[in-house]
């Protein structure tokens, strides 16, 4: 039996405002201001949010354009390089990377030269103290997420942290409490939630185009050396989160039961897992992940009268239905460099979501809010316990 203590007592999700579908463009300044005002007004209902505070964003210093969100990168990494590339497809006055940090000065300097970053550091604390940063993008090895989130929040920086937010539910609860106490924005980097294809899926479900959704099936498998996988906390933390978040996105419910089987190494690292979530009314989600073999890397959302299939469901650009295929090409600009990881230009939608939330004074995003981060951590803790994963991150 699977229970989520203290989560099912209140609403996990807030209603999302309508989004434009099929159009991969970004708003003009006038449209953006109008959308922010409307979103702030909607958020104020029942939440205690004061629309008058929407413009009161700490800047940490003067800037040329008050609408530009100033980013720190902690640390320089392949994912950070893709994130910086994704920012180039957005309006130039929306985002700017002003600082980066790496263990080696040469690595930080190379990143700075590629992305025109004026400040480089070799210490996380030095970057945290930089007065010209609004928000920090955190993308180190997974077990370092908690420490860096706390460091940046302690220095009054907003945070976008790659998934998983932390390695345990206890750590997630602590950083969320700190963000709320310091009135700072914090978001787990579940960027699939921000891409147009995901919002089209939600639109179809709400319009009952699939009928009542009964089942979600996801697979994600790529061969990874066990020693490298251990640095990321195992296959559930690194791969499983994508299927778990998709199931939560589709059903918008807390699972009642979880069933798990899988394989762990002698060092108690999970390398494969078959996860079944059972929701109310016998709705189910089956998630298969493996670091031993390549799987189909597909997701199927099955309703009573229709289904949606998608490859690369962590950032789909095509949805396949029984009636037609729908394409959602990623935005590009001339001479956009290739990304290290597949479809990572889709992170541009996540960056815009962060900017919009911070500009209107929100402490969390409606597309993946704090309660969902807590629920996801609870699910991962439960799966690890069932598999007998031996890594102890509770004291880190």
Q: Please name the helix (run of DSSP H) or strand (run of DSSP E) that holds residue 40, with its range, or none.
A: helix 29-44
Residue ranges of E strands in the chain: 69-74, 95-101, 119-121, 135-138, 158-162, 186-189, 213-221, 257-264, 270-278, 284-290, 298-303, 307-311, 318-321, 325-327
16-22: long-range pairs with CB below 8 Å, 24+: 16/199, 16/202, 16/366, 16/367, 17/42, 17/366, 19/196, 19/199, 19/203, 21/196, 21/199, 21/200, 21/203, 22/196, 22/200, 22/326, 22/328
What distance in Å separates the CA atoms of residue 379 and residue 46, rounded to the nearest whole number? 29
Computed on alpha carbons and rounded to an integer, the radius of gyration of the chain in Å comes to 20
Name the least confident of 45-49, 118-122, 329-333, 340-344: 45-49
What distance in Å separates the CA atoms of residue 301 and residue 306, rounded to the nearest whole number? 9
pLDDT band at 391 (very low <50, low <70, confident <90, very high): low
Q: What is the pLDDT of residues 339-349, one digit of tens each?
A: 999 899 999 99
CB atoms within 10 A of CB 329: 10
Q: Let me know: does 201 contact 173? Beta carbons within 8 Å.
A: no
Q: What is the pLDDT of residues 225-278, one digit of tens each?
A: 988 999 999 999 999 999 999 999 999 999 999 999 999 999 999 999 999 999
Please report the pLDDT score of residue 390 as a whole number.
76
Max Cα separation, the chain? 58
Residue 137, token pair as written in the block: 């993008």
Higher pLDDT, 46 or 107: 107
Higher pLDDT, 339 or 64: 339
Please report the pLDDT score of residue 66 as a whole number.
75
Q: What is the pLDDT of residues 366-388, one digit of tens each?
A: 999 999 999 999 999 999 999 99
Q: What is the pLDDT of residues 287-309, one digit of tens each?
A: 999 999 999 999 999 999 999 99
Cα-based angle 124, 194, 47 (whole degrees, multiple of 5):
85
What distance in Å separates the CA atoms of residue 238 and residue 153, rounded to the nearest whole number? 24
What is the dihedral sign for C-alpha 366, 367, 372, 377?
A: negative
Higher pLDDT, 90 or 58: 90
Residue 168, token pair as written in the block: 């345990």
Q: What is the pLDDT of residues 217-229, one digit of tens each?
A: 999 999 999 889 9
What distance in Å separates the CA atoms of residue 279 and residue 249, rounded to the nearest whole number? 13
DSSP 337: P
CB-count burial class (<10 Å; 0-12, 13-18, 19+) for 204 = buried
For 13-18, what is the mean pLDDT?
A: 40
Q: Let me know: does 387 contact 16? Beta carbons within 8 Å.
A: no
Res 3 pLDDT > 60 = no
Res 38 pLDDT > 70 = no
Beta-carbon contacts of residue 191 (< 8 Å; ≥ 6 apart): 315, 346, 347, 349, 350
SS3 326: strand
C-alpha separations of 146 from 78, 142, 175, 281, 314 in Å? 20, 8, 7, 36, 23
Please report the pLDDT score of residue 15 as a whole number.
40
Residue 44, token pair as written in the block: 């104020």
Q: What is the pLDDT of residues 143-194, one digit of tens each?
A: 999 999 999 999 999 999 999 999 999 999 999 999 999 999 999 999 999 9
Q: Note if the bond before 164 is cis, omega within 30 degrees.
A: yes
pLDDT band at 139 (very low <50, low <70, confident <90, very high): very high
pLDDT band at 67 (very low <50, low <70, confident <90, very high): confident
Torsion angles phi and psi, residue 395, rounded to 5: -100, 5
What distance in Å separates the CA atoms of residue 301 and residue 211, rounded to the nearest whole number? 11
Residue 148, token pair as written in the block: 């860096």
Among candidate residues 109, 115, 40, 26, the one with its CA nearest the CA of residue 71:
115
């Amino acid at each position: 039996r699977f229970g989520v203590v203290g989560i099912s007592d209140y609403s996990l999700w807030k209603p999302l405002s309508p989004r434009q579908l099929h159009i991969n463009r970004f708003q003009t300044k006038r449209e953006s201001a109008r959308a922010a005002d409307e979103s702030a007004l909607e958020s104020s209902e029942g939440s205690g949010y004061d629309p008058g505070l929407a413009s009161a964003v700490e800047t940490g210093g003067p800037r040329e354009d008050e609408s530009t969100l100033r980013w720190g990168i902690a640390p320089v990494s392949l994912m950070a390089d893709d994130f910086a590339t994704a920012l180039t497809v957005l309006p130039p006055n929306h985002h700017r990377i002003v600082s980066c940090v790496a263990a080696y000065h040469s690595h930080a300097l190379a990143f700075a030269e590629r992305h025109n970053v004026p400040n480089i550091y070799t210490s996380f604390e030095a970057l945290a103290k930089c007065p010209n940063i609004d928000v920090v993008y955190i993308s180190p090895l997974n077990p370092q997420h908690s420490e860096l989130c706390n460091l940046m929040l302690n220095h009054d920086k907003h945070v976008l942290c790659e998934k998983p937010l932390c390695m345990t539910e206890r750590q997630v609860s602590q950083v969320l409490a700190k963000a709320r106490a310091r009135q700072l924005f914090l978001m787990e980097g579940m960027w699939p939630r921000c891409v147009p294809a995901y919002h089209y899926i939600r639109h179809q479900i709400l319009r009952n185009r699939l009928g009542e959704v009964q089942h979600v099936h996801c697979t994600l498998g790529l061969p990874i050396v066990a020693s490298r996988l251990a640095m990321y906390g195992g296959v559930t933390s690194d791969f499983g989160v994508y299927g778990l978040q998709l199931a939560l996105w589709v059903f918008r419910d807390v699972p009642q039961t979880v069933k798990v089987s899988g394989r762990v190494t002698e060092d108690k690292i999970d390398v494969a897992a078959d996860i079944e979530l059972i929701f109310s009314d016998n709705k189910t989600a089956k998630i298969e992940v493996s670091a031993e073999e390549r799987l189909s890397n597909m997701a199927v959302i099955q309703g009573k009268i229709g289904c949606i299939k998608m490859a690369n469901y962590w950032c789909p650009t095509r949805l396949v239905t029984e009636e037609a295929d729908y394409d959602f090409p990623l935005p590009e600009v001339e001479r956009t460099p290739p990304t290290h990881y597949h479809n990572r230009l889709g992170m541009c939608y996540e960056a815009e979501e962060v900017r919009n939330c911070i500009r209107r004074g929100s402490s969390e995003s409606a597309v993946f809010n704090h309660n969902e981060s807590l629920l996801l951590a609870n699910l991962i803790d439960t799966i690890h316990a069932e598999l007998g994963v031996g890594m102890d991150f509770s004291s880190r």
